[in-house]
Structure 1
Amino acid sequence: MIDGSQARYVDGLTRLLPADDRVRAVAQVRAGGGLTPAPPSQSSAPPAAGRPSLLGVLLNVLSPNITFGRADDAVDWLFFGVGGRGAPDSRASVLHHALTGAAKGLGLRYLVLGVTDQRLLLGATAPVGLLSSSAADERAQADIELLGAVPRTSVTARFGRYRLNWKRLRIDFADGSWLSFHVPLADSGRPLREVAAALSAV
Structure 2
Amino acid sequence: MSRWEPNARGRLEQAAMELYGERGYEQTTVTEIAARAGLTERTFFRHYADKREVLFAGSASLQGLLVDTLTGAPATASPIDAVATALDAAAAVFDERREQSRRRQKVISANAELRERELIKLASLAAALAESLRARGVAEPAASLAAEAGIAVFKVAFERWIAGADDRAMGAYVHESLDELKVVTAGGRA
**Max radius of gyration: which structure?**
2
Whose RCO is larger (CA < 8 A, sep 6+)?
Answer: 1
Compare the two structures and name the one with the higher strand fraction. Answer: 1
**TM over 0.5, shorter chain:** no
Relative to the length of structure 2, the TM-score reads 0.22
Relative to the length of structure 1, the TM-score reads 0.21
